Structure 1
Amino acid sequence: MRAKALPRNGAIGLCSPSHIPLYEAAPGQEVPRSWEYKNIIQSMEKEGFRVVQADNLYKTTWGYLASDQERGADLNQLAADPSVDCILFGGGEGAPEMPPYLDFELFRRNPKRICSYSDGTTILNAVWATTGLETYYGQNPTVFTGWTDYNRRHFEGHILGGRMAVHEKNSPWLCLNPGTAEGVLTGGYTMNFALLLGTKHFPVDLREPHILFLEDHEMFGGEDHVSAMLGYIEQSEFMSSVTGVIFGNYADHPCPNLYARLKLLGERHGIPVVYCDDFGHGENHAILPIGRRAQLDADRLELSYLS
């Protein structure tokens, strides 16, 4: 199931399941740029979008986050609001607490394009696996305050437009294990995806082939951490359905140990594996549609969409 595209004068719903945003930082207060929402909202409005802020967006009930019930209520509020065309939220920590509080029937009855990245992996995959609604991995609200041409083309192609026919690249791709694969795209930030496996909120059909995309970053964990997460995924029943793997940006320098670990994964399971810097926590924020059927050609270094 695919929701209608976001109209160019449509409404974007903002919530924050993974961090406490501020509308505007106080003088001298240092907060991450992605957590200060005044510029984000003004940038969206300048482009002609209406912004709907969820009721609990700025709540600090738990000190480090709004409560799990408040954050879940915000997601449900935006899903139910007929004036909201797209739901957009960023990362942090906390999204794994959300699935028990999501009214998946609301998302099924009111399909809209939902986009996030990083910690949002949990929500995007739970919504898709439970409802069949295609969701979108790769961007957060901050992109509006500093568009690159590449990131804008992906937003316009996947959120404003119908569907991209092929993945547009913006970095060299490395073939770590050759071959071709077809399957339904799913994945996201490595730890979040691993934590979701085996839970009742990720009811995937293991008879269906899947192309798994993953990303991590050296600022969050070393190559040993990534290897441990890959090992966990490999031990899951889900791995039997994986026909190919795409790994996104980990660092702005070559990572031969990571490449070797990904190559080993491909050889162990007899599947193609590629590495690129198109998506993740770097400068490039390509969007990958979770739930869309695709073909990965590791020999030609291409990802194309089949549906």
Structure 2
Amino acid sequence: MLLPKRLHIGDTIGIIAPASPPNLENLEKGIIFLKSLGLHVKLGKHVTSTYGYLAGTDQKRLDDVHDMFRDNSISGIICASGGYGTARLASQIDYDVIMKNPKIFWGYSDITFLHTAIRQQTDLVTFHGPMVSSDIGTKDFATLSKKMFKQTFEPTHLAYTEAISPLQVLSDGEAIGPLVGGNLSLLISTLGTKFEINTSGKLLVIEDIGEEPYRIDSYLNQLKMTRKFDDAAGIVVGDFNNAIPKEGKSSLTLEEVLQDYFADLNIPVMSGFKIGHCSPHFSVPLGAMAKLSSVDKTLQIQPGVQ
């Protein structure tokens, strides 16, 4: 586990768009929030580029990733938006650059592929949290979501309890392990690649948005068939925003799908965590050690910075 250095007031944060183009109006609003934390902001050279559904060509987006990690004036990197495109970069990234210049890397959704690739190639702890344009710059950016950025300024033990949201126990138990995962559909896209998600001894976080129950069923079935649940330490079920079937379509509920896959596992599985495409968004350090307990219905996470 490689912990990035904490931020300090006056540090500079780099903003990149390694997936789809950000909403520029929201981007500006998000930058205002980052500055309110006492940070300076530097935009990647190609943040405003477009190439169809991508924020510039693969080479441009790749250059921004490398430039921000190499730049000694940059103390942390936050992604502007998700969408699609990070998987196209994974095999071209120079991971030695990241290992030699470890720093805070923050985002979620499509950024899940980069979180997984970076962690498994370098052991760097990265952060699953709201992005500048997609979340921070929107009008309903929640107070708790804002407070979660404090963990980048000082080593912070996080504790998720039912004071934040109701939690449901799908399978009893307690387990300790590194927290990994993120967006479920992106985790599925790693399978069969050199960046395939490693769940052995890990607490696996899953979340998604806009997927009907049958699609979530399909994703979970693929994880089951590839034996990703067999040696996992536990499962943290985050938010599945808008996981409803089309009107008039016969369907299992999301809760029934989750029961089918997790109720008989001999590891702790809990759902209801506000981690994902939701408000508030509880940001977590991926790769950090954590403990999931159905006994007291908590998720406790070690600090993600040093």
Superposition TM-score tier, normalisation by shorter sequence: 0.7 to 0.9
Q: Measure, in 2, the Cα distance between the counterparts of 1:176 and 1:127.
A: 30
Q: Structure 1 residue 162 and structure 2 residue 155: aligned?
A: yes
- What is the CA distance between 1:253 and its match in structure 2? 9.5
Q: Measure, in 1, the Cα distance between the counterparts of 2:7 and 2:289.
A: 21
After superposition, the CA RMSD in angstroms is 2.4
Q: Please point out which of 290, 293, 296 is paired with 1:294.
A: 290
Q: Structure 1 residue 193 and structure 2 residue 187: aligned?
A: yes
1:27 alignment partner in structure 2: none
Instruction: State the AA in 2 paired with 1:118.
Output: S
1:29 alignment partner in structure 2: none
The DSSP-based 3-state class of the residue aligned with 1:43 is helix
| Higher mean C-alpha deviation, range 192-201 or range 101-110 | 192-201
**TM value normalised by structure 1:** 0.87
Q: Measure, in 1, the Cα distance between the counterparts of 2:31 and 2:73.
A: 17
**TM value normalised by structure 2:** 0.87
Q: Please point out which of 251, 270, 275 is paired with 1:274.
A: 270
Deviations 1:210-251 (A, max 9, x none): 11010012xx22011111111111122433321211111224
Q: Structure 1 residue 265 and structure 2 residue 257: aligned?
A: no
Q: Work out the percentage of aligned pairs sharing the same amino acid.
A: 23
- What is the CA distance between 1:297 and its match in structure 2? 0.6
| Higher mean C-alpha deviation, range 61-70 or range 284-293 | 61-70
Q: Please point out which of 228, 240, 253 is paired with 1:250.
A: 240
Q: Please point out which of 148, 167, 174 is paired with 1:173.
A: 167
Count of aligned positions: 291
2:15, 2:43 within 8 Å by CA — same for their partners in 1?
yes
Q: Measure, in 2, the Cα distance between the counterparts of 1:184 and 1:277.
A: 17
Q: Measure, in 1, the Cα distance between the counterparts of 2:173 and 2:22.
A: 44
2:221 alignment partner in structure 1: 231
| Higher mean C-alpha deviation, range 8-17 or range 39-48 | 39-48
Q: Which runs of 5+ in 1 are unaligned?
A: 25-35
Instruction: State the AA in 2 paired with 1:140.
Output: M
1:33 alignment partner in structure 2: none
1:182, 1:293 within 8 Å by CA — same for their partners in 2?
yes
Structure 1 or 2: more helix by fraction: 1
Q: Measure, in 2, the Cα distance between the counterparts of 1:213 and 1:129.
A: 16
Quick one: structure 1 residues 64 and 127, their matched pair in 2 at CA, closer, same or farther if it must change by over 3 Å? closer
2:248 alignment partner in structure 1: none
Q: Measure, in 2, the Cα distance between the counterparts of 1:229 and 1:41.
A: 35
Structure with bigger RCO (C-alpha 8 Å, 6+ apart)? 2
- What is the CA distance between 1:45 and its match in structure 2? 2.5
Q: Measure, in 1, the Cα distance between the counterparts of 2:240 and 2:51.
A: 33
Deviations 1:139-194 (A, max 9, x none): 2114544543311222112x222132433652111111211222211010100011
Q: Which runs of 5+ in 2 are unaligned?
A: 246-251
